[in-house]
Amino acid sequence: MHIPPVESPPRPPADLRTVGRAFVVLALCSLLLLVLVAAEWPPLIDLDGDVSRATHRWAVEESGVTHAFRILTDWVWDPQTMRILCAVVVVWLVWRQSAWWTAAWLVVTVALSTAVQQSLKAAVDRARPVWPDPIDSAHYAAFPSGHAMSATVVLGLLLWLLHGYGPGRTLWRTAVTVVVVSVAGVGLTRVWLGVHWPTDVIGGWLLGATVVALAVLAHRRWAPGPPPGAGSGGVERVP
């Protein structure tokens, strides 16, 4: 007589497992960098100093590039600009899509990422670079870079939401290009302007990507309606 096998617990979808693995890797890398920075590991500190001195020298010599970078970092890729962009998308989600859960998820994620960023700055309390001929200034502690982390979180989440709506090839490629250039560019400007060490920026990128991966996991597990990309447009069912 054939005895039916005992059913095993359902496995999560492959894409969910992939995001979960990415979250673990990103979290471990973020933790490792955090420990090395907090411990002031000499090879890392030396590398930060070498790169920062070179970029500061170039920034002083290339005043035109420096001026353009200051505009980009203060107005285009500034954390406040990222929050305004996020607010616009939240209004659109609620007004045009009735996607209240996703709108709340986006607000909470961005707010929590800011809280994590500020808490780590206070805990690590890393001093910013100091130059005899500074070309820009910034407040609060250095690690992690708030500009880099904010851009990674906001633009990463918005790109994931856009993907759920099944954009055309041209729109998707344009969006990916804008996000990659913006996230990489904001990190470059912070080091170029002499207000962050390179590892501050890398830490911001890693922590921001970790937040995005965790937020995607939360959305896929608990959002009402089908998952992004499953026919409804990627968020809650809409009329």
Q: Smallest Cα–Cα separation from 182: which of 158, 162, 163?
A: 158
Higher per-residue confidence, 157 vs 97: 157
- Terminal Cα distance for the chain, rounded: 51
At 18-73, the pLDDT tens digits run 889 999 999 999 999 999 999 999 999 999 999 999 999 999 999 999 999 999 99
Task: State how far the Cα of 70 lies from the Cα of 194, in Å rounded to an integer.
Answer: 11
Query: What is the mean predicted confidence (pLDDT) over 2-23?
Result: 62
**pLDDT number for residue 165:** 86
Residue pair 76/85 in contact (Cβ under 8 Å)? The answer is no
> Binning pLDDT at 50, 70 and 90, where does residue 16 land?
confident
What tens digit of pLDDT does each residue of 171-223 get? 999 999 999 999 999 999 999 999 999 999 999 999 999 999 999 999 988 88
In this predicted model, which residue has the larger pLDDT, 96 or 205? 205
Query: Which tokens is 72 given?
Result: 């980009």
pLDDT band at 226 (very low <50, low <70, confident <90, very high): low
